[in-house]
Chains A and B, each alone.
Chain A
Amino acid sequence: MSEGPRISRSDREARKRAMELLRAKLLEISEQIKKGNPPEILIPKRTLSNTVYDSQRKLLLLGNEKFRRNFIDLNESRRFMQTALMSSIIYNALLNDEYPTIRDLYYRGKHSISLKDEATGKVYEENTWDEQKESDSVIVDIEVFTSLLREEMLILSKEKGKVVGDMRIRSGNDVIDLSKLGHGAYAIEPTPDLVEFLDVNADYVLVVEKDAVFQQLHRAGFWKQYKCLLITSAGQPDRATRRFVRRLSEELKLPVYILTDADPYGWYIYSVFRIGSIMLSYESERLATPDGKFLGVSMDDIFGSKTKKAYLSEAERRNFIIKAKDADIKRAQEIRSYDWFKTKAWQNEIDVFLQRKAKLEIEAMASKGLKFLAFNYIPEKIQTRDWIS
Chain B
Amino acid sequence: MSSDSKERFASISPAEFFKRNPELVGFSNPSRALYQSVRETVENSLDATDIHLILPSVKVSLDRIDLEKEVYRLTIEDNGIGIPPQVVPNAFGKVLYSSKYTIRQTRGMYGLGVKAVLLYSQMYQDRPFEVQTSPRGSNRVYYFKLKIDISRNEPIIFHRSSIENPTGWHGTIITVYLVGDWLRSKQKIYEYIKRTYILSPYAEFTFRDPEGNITYYPRVTNKLPRPPEEVKPHPYGVDIELLKYLIATLRYQYDVRSFLINEFQSIGEITAEEILKQAGVSSSTPASKLTDDQISKLVEVMKKYEKFRPPSADALSTLGEELITIGLNKVFSPDMVSAETRKPKAYQGHPFIVEAGIAYGGAIPPSEFPIVLRYANKIPLVYDEKSDVIWKVVEEIDWRRYGIEENQFPLVVLVHLCSTKVPYKSAGKESIADVEEIEKEIKFAIMSAARQLRLFLLERKKQEDERKRMLTYMKYIPELARSLAVFEASNENEIDSRAKELEKKLIEIVSKKVGLNDPTLYDKLKVEIS
Q: List the interface of chain A (C-beta within 8 A of B).
A: 22-23, 26-27, 29-30, 33-34, 36-39, 71-72, 74, 77-78, 80-81, 84-85, 87-88, 91-92, 111-119, 124, 126, 128
Contact = CB atoms under 8 A, between A and B. Distances in A.
Contact of A84 (B483, B508, B524): B483
27 contacts: A22-B487, A26-B487, A33-B484, A33-B509, A34-B505, A38-B510, A39-B480, A39-B509, A77-B472, A81-B479, A84-B484, A85-B483, A87-B487, A88-B483, A88-B487, A111-B529, A112-B530, A113-B478, A113-B479, A113-B529, A114-B530, A115-B474, A115-B526, A116-B525, A116-B527, A117-B471, A126-B475
Interface in B481-498: 482-484, 486-488
Given A38-B513, A113-B475, A117-B524, A81 B483 contact: yes
Contacts of A34: 502, 505
Contacts of A91: 486-487
A43 to B, nearest CB: 16
B473 A27 contact: no
A113 B469 contact: no
A124 B471 contact: yes
A114 B524 CA distance: 13
A91 B78 CA distance: 82
Contacts of B502: 30, 33-34
B530 A118 contact: no
A322 B473 CA distance: 56
Contacts of A128: 479
Contacts of B524: 117-119
A71 B483 CA distance: 14
A82 B513 CA distance: 21
Nearest to A128: B479
A115 B479 contact: no
A35 to B, nearest CB: 9
Can you list the 5 inter-chain pairs with the closest CB atoms, starting with the nearest? A84-B483, A81-B476, A88-B486, A88-B483, A118-B524
Contacts of B482: 88
Contacts of B529: 111-113
Contacts of A126: 475
B510 A72 contact: yes
A26 B469 contact: no
Nearest to A112: B530
Contacts of B528: 113-116
A85 B510 contact: no
A243 to B, nearest CB: 27
B474 A30 contact: no
A115 B477 CA distance: 11
A84 B472 CA distance: 16
Contact of B525 (A23, A87, A115): A115
A128 B471 CA distance: 15
Given A33-B484, A33-B502, A119-B524, A72 B476 contact: no
Given A30-B487, A80-B480, A113 B527 contact: yes
A187 B421 CA distance: 100
Contacts of B472: 74, 77-78
Contacts of A124: 471, 475
Contacts of A116: 525-528
Contacts of B480: 39, 71, 80-81, 84-85
